[in-house]
Amino acid sequence: MGIEGVNARIADIQSRMIALQTQQAGRTTQQSQSSTTTGGASGDDFASYLSDAVSQTPATGRGYAVNSKGIPTELEAYGNGKIPASALQPVGSTGFKLWAPAAESMTRMIADAQKAGVHIGITETYRPLAEQVDLARRKGLYSQGGLAAKPGTSEHGWGMAADLDLDAKALSWVRANADKYGFYNTASRESWHWGFKPESSGARQQLAVQ
Task: Report pLDDT for 9.
Answer: 57
Coil, strand or helix: which one is 195?
A: strand
Tens of pLDDT, residue by residue over 37-88, are: 444 444 445 554 444 443 333 333 456 799 999 999 999 999 999 999 999 9
Q: How many CB atoms lie within 10 A of CB 156?
A: 24
* Domain housing 49: 3-55
Flag whether 51 is in a domain. yes
Kindly state the average pLDDT of the residues 169-176.
98
pLDDT beyond 70 at 33: no
**Proportion of the chain above pLDDT 90, given as a percent:** 60
Mean pLDDT over residues 123-135, rounded?
97
- For residue 206, the model assigns a pLDDT of 77
Same domain (yes/no): 97, 188: yes
The pLDDT assigned to 49 comes to: 43
> Is residue 67 assigned to a domain?
no
Mean pLDDT of 12-21: 53
How far is it, in rounded angstroms, from Cα 145 to Cα 41? 66
Identify the pLDDT of residue 203: 86
Q: What is the pLDDT of residue 45?
A: 52
Domain identity same for 118 and 196: yes
DSSP state of 44: T
User: Pick the residue with more confidence: 13 or 105?
Assistant: 105
Residue in 49, 48, 39 with CA at minimum distance from that of residue 14 = 49
Crossing angle of helices 100-115 and 201-208, rounded to 10°: 90
Query: Beta-carbon neighbour count of residue 43 at 10 Å?
Result: 17
Residue-level pLDDT at 204: 79
The verdict on residue 133 lying in a domain is yes
Task: Judge residue 106's burial from the number of C-beta atoms within 10 Å of its C-beta, 0-12 exposed, 13-18 middle, 19 or more buried.
Answer: buried
Claim to verify: residue 21 and residue 123 sit in the same structural domain: no
For residue 99, pLDDT over 70 is answered with: yes
Q: What letter does residue 193 receive in the DSSP assignment?
A: E
Residue in 57, 22, 20 with CA at minimum distance from that of residue 210: 57
Per-residue model confidence (pLDDT) at position 2: 52
Residues 117 and 186 grouped into a single domain: yes
Residues 26 and 82 in one domain: no
Same domain flag for 115 and 23: no
Same structural domain, 137 and 189: yes
Overall average pLDDT of the 28-37 stretch: 44
202 within some domain: yes
Evaluate if residue 14 carries a pLDDT over 60. no
Q: How many CB atoms lie within 10 A of CB 29?
A: 9
Q: Mark whether 146 and 93 lie in a shared domain.
A: yes
Domain membership flag for residue 65: no
Check whether residue 134 and residue 192 sit in a common domain.
yes
Whether 110 and 26 map to the same domain: the answer is: no
User: How far apart are the C-alpha atoms of 191 and 169, rounded to whole Å?
Assistant: 13
Torsional sign, CA 193, 131, 124, 104: negative
For residue 16, what pLDDT is reported? 54
Residue 60 located in a structural domain:
no
- What's residue 205's pLDDT? 80
CATH number for 102: 3.30.1380.10
The verdict on 162 and 118 lying in the same domain is: yes
Q: Please answer whether residues 76 and 67 qualify as being in contact, where contact means their C-beta atoms are separated by less than 8 angstroms.
A: yes
Into how many domains does the chain fold?
2
| Whether 115 and 195 share a structural domain | yes
